[in-house]
Amino acid sequence: MVLENQMISEEEVRELAWKYYQFDGQISALPGEVDFNFRLKNKDEDVTLKITRAHTDPQYIDFQVAIIKHLSEGGFPLQIPEIIPVKDGRDYVDLGNGRFLRLQKWVPGMMLDEVIPRSHHLLEAWGRTAGMFSKYLTGFDHPGAHRQQKWNPSETLALKKYHPYFQTEEQKEIADYFWDLFEKTTLPQLPALRKSVNYNDAHEHNLLVSGSPEKPEINGVID
């Protein structure tokens, strides 16, 4: 569910940005599935301010920050929303009641979603981007990564409960085929397979492109 940004006023955002970052500028609300997101811009800087929902687990925030810093310090070739530290050096601010504030660099570009049609070159770049995440996250670990979630490929069989929601017999047959394949082929070997933190959110709303409209290039990731 998309949360409405008007639950946090522009004045509150301005006060928080100044209190913790001494940042002042034009404010515009951004869409967000989980966090409250705002773009702050002045003549010198362009940033994103993010505020979590109440009762957010601090370990989850630590995990997100750790991934961003790992990619940034490891030479990840695409632009990412790097963490801008608080004036006292912290990576984020605890606002109380499980709400956390952080400031990140703005990543310029156009959403991949806006590029229609998409060339073979761009589709291949999309796949390479997903592969780059796997490469640069190799060896990375964090306590926040060890939690149950639907997007974990090793928990594929937990999704069988959604089988009744497929609308056609063809969809059900395809799902059954891959669940069966996983159960018979992958599951027995799962303990011996390599494991790593994996970025499973490389969709067209999170990838940014730059360059000419005729030959756009993926240049950044925003979430």
Question: Nearest CA to 85 among 135, 143, 40, 21?
Answer: 21
pLDDT confidence of residue 2? 41
Q: How far apart are the first and last CA of the chain?
A: 16
Which CATH number is associated with domain 5-107? 3.30.200.20
Strand partners, 48: 39, 104
Q: Give exposure, 25-51, as e/b (b: 16+ Cβ within 10 Å).
A: bebeeeebeebbbbebeeeeeebbbbb
Each residue's pLDDT expressed in tens, for the chain with a length of 223 residues: 344 444 788 999 999 999 999 999 999 999 887 899 999 999 999 999 999 999 999 999 999 999 999 999 999 999 999 999 999 999 999 999 999 999 999 999 999 999 888 989 999 999 999 999 999 999 999 999 988 888 888 999 999 999 999 999 999 999 999 999 999 999 999 999 988 898 888 999 999 998 776 788 999 999 8
Alpha carbon 212 to its chain's center = 25
Strand partners, 96: 99
DSSP 185: I
Q: 21, 86 in Cβ contact below 8 A? A: yes
pLDDT confidence of residue 223? 82
Question: Which residues touch 209 (CB under 8 Å, ≥6 apart)?
Answer: 109, 110, 111, 112, 115, 122, 216, 217, 218, 219
Backbone angles phi, psi at 219, to 5 degrees: -125, -10
Positions of CATH 3.30.200.20 in the chain: 5-107
